[in-house]
Amino acid sequence: MQNGLAISGDYMSAASFLGIAGSIAVYGFDGFFYSIGFLASYVIVQYIIAEPLHNLGRYTMADAVAVRFGEKRLRGFIAVNNMMITVFYMIAQLVGAGWLIHLLFGLETSLAIVLVGSLMTIYVTFGGMLATSWVQIVKSILLVSSTFIVSLIVLARFDWDLLGLFASMKQATPLQERFLMAGNMFDQPLDMLSFNMALVLGTAGLPHIIARFYTVRDPLTVRASVKTATFTIGIFYAMTIFLGFGAAAFVDWSVLSERVDLAAPLLASALGGEFLMAFVSAVAFATILAVISGLVLTASSAFAHDVYSSIFRSGQATEAQQMRVAKLSAIVVGMASIVLALGAQKLNVAFLVSFAFAVAASANLPVLLFTLFWRKFNTYGAMSSIAAGLISSLLLMAIGPNVMDPEAGWIRAEAIFPLKHPGIVSIPIGFAGGIIGTVLSGKASSTGQFKKMQAIAHVAPDEIRTRELG
């Protein structure tokens, strides 16, 4: 249960509490796609990824792949890719923190981003996995509790009439009746499909979620962890409807449309005054800090274990040396994320997280699935899959509408790629890269190594029970 709550704490980020509530309030039905996608993704995690990865790995995703492929370069590819995903995910948390502190204390968002990023980098450097896990557990309980309280207040304002709440949304915003229909945020069906593909497939490739599978003793506990996490996350995402609808009904539209990411604190202020806003903001702040700590820990562990120990020291580094390098890399990752977040202050945090999901689904998921289930898959296929998925995701985002926009983009020009979300193109490219790299290399994968990996990865729960009973 502890690990399940920690997983849900890692997963319910600033995008969940701040970005989704705001997206539902402003865009209506389309905003709820975030909640649906985030929750549905755990089906893949539960039935395909969780137990095999636990059986194969010790610390990181690269450990699991290395059971079949011992190539050092592949470890490096995986580590760099995972650190990039982590940084993108972390940018979203820092941007959310900046806006939240700006609302509470009036500080400039840039200063707030620097303060929060520095604080959590120091915390992870000295606290490690145990401290991070308990922050996640406490934060998960607080987040679900505070969301439940606000949801009850919203329902009470509508005399506990759920149908009346939905009906009132037709007059609450400028969207009118279109509020409950699709197409307000996604003007192209392909963009909506691309977005949902990234959310549903991306969770299975997120490095900070994968790392949680290695903190328990056996596959049975992994399965219980994912069930607990899915149940907790499901309750929370169901309540985001009330947060979004409540914000649309009770927060001034002109304020809400300018501060989409602050919908939950603004709703709390409208419903319960300064006290409730302070409580909700504190929970949101704890949410951001907890997720940042988990992300920094994951990135620093990947560098220390997969790059420094496995590549530079050929697996001969001591625990003390790895710990020292992990702390130094935590500082570097924290500083890099702060710098990038300062340039991304105007972007919606939910979009930033959805892009991290797109990279995870394009670069990590193909490698994991091919490693577990394709006998002919080899090292060259794995490296080409990661490179194809990562490069295509970054390139399509760079030339897409979120970066290139004549009025509000980082680059003031017409977008070359028409879709805001690259997943529908980059995910197939990632899978195709693995297939093409494997075929063109002309080198067969070891059948014996594949069978050995399968035997380790797919241990039946009954066999685990038999071993435990002696």
Virtual torsion, Cα 283, 284, 287, 289, nearest 10 deg? -100
Q: Is the separation of the CB atoms in 356 and 206 below 8 Å? A: yes
**390: its two tokens:** 């990562």
Lookup: tokens for 466: 């038999």
CA distances from 375 to 5, 19, 365, 403, 435 (A): 35, 41, 16, 40, 12
- With 0.95 as the threshold, say if the pTM is over it: no
SS3 content of the chain, % helix, strand, coil (to 5): 80, 0, 20
Residue with structure tokens 């063109």? Answer: 440
* pLDDT value at residue 179: 86
CA 87 to chain centre: 11
Cβ atoms of 60 and 326 within 8 Å: the answer is: no
The two tokens of residue 48 are 């395909």
352 and 15 in contact (C-beta within 8 Å)? yes
Residue at 283: amino acid letter:
V
Q: Does residue 137 sit in helix, strand or coil?
A: helix
Give the per-residue pLDDT at 277. Answer: 86
SS3 404: strand
The contacts of residue 451 (CB under 8 Å, 6+ apart) are: none
The token pair at 85 is 């995903």
**Model pLDDT, residue 408:** 64
- Structure tokens, 25: 């309030």
By the 8 A CB rule, do 173 and 253 touch? Answer: yes
The pLDDT tens digits along the chain (470 residues) read 888 888 887 777 766 777 788 888 888 888 888 888 878 887 788 778 877 877 776 667 777 787 778 777 888 888 888 888 888 888 877 887 777 777 777 778 888 888 888 877 777 777 666 667 777 888 888 888 988 999 999 999 988 888 888 888 888 888 888 888 887 888 788 888 998 898 889 888 888 777 777 777 777 788 888 888 888 888 888 898 898 898 888 888 888 877 777 888 888 888 888 888 888 888 877 777 777 777 777 777 777 777 777 777 776 777 777 778 888 888 888 888 888 888 777 666 666 777 888 999 999 999 989 988 888 888 889 999 999 999 999 899 888 887 777 776 667 778 888 888 889 999 999 999 999 999 988 776 666 677 777 777 666 555 544 544 44
Cα(132)–Cα(292) distance, rounded to whole angstroms?
10
Q: Token pair of 232, please?
A: 């907790």
Q: Tokens 């003390």 label which residue?
A: 320
Q: What is the pLDDT of residue 469?
A: 44
Quote the CA–CA distance of 197 and 18 in Å, as a whole number.
Answer: 22
Residues belonging to the chain = 470
Find where tokens 């030339």 sit: 399
By C-alpha distance, which of 37, 41, 409, 43 is closest to 192? 37
User: Domains plus CATH for the chain?
Assistant: 1-464 (1.20.1730.10)
Facing residues of 404 across strands? 411
At residue 404, φ and ψ (nearest 5 deg) are -100, 110
Least Cα distance to 364 among 390, 341, 338, 343 occurs for: 390
Q: Decide: 41 and 204 in contact? Cβ < 8 Å.
A: yes
| Residue (of 366, 343, 364, 27) closest to 173 by Cα position | 27
Q: Alpha-carbon distance 231 to 244, whole Å?
A: 21
Q: What is the dihedral of CA 398, 400, 404, 409, to 10 degrees?
A: -90
Q: What is the pLDDT of residue 470?
A: 47
- Cα of 289 vs its chain's centroid, Å: 14
